[in-house]
Amino acid sequence: MLEPAPRDAVLFVAVVGLSTLLLLVASDLVLTLQRRLPVGSWVTQWARRYPAFALALTLVAGGLFGHFYFATP
Give the integer Cα–Cα distance in Å for 8 and 46.
35
pTM for the full predicted model: 0.69
Instruction: Work out the average pLDDT over 59-73.
Output: 87
What pLDDT shows up at residue 46? Answer: 97
DSSP label of 35: T
Domain boundary assignment for the chain: 7-36, 37-73
pLDDT at 73: 65
Model pLDDT, residue 69: 83
Q: What is the pLDDT of residues 4-55, one digit of tens each?
A: 767 888 889 889 999 999 999 999 999 999 999 999 999 999 999 999 999 9
Buried b (16+ CB within 10 A) or exposed e, 29-50: eebeeeeeeeeeeeeeeeeeee
Gyration radius of the chain's alpha carbons? 17
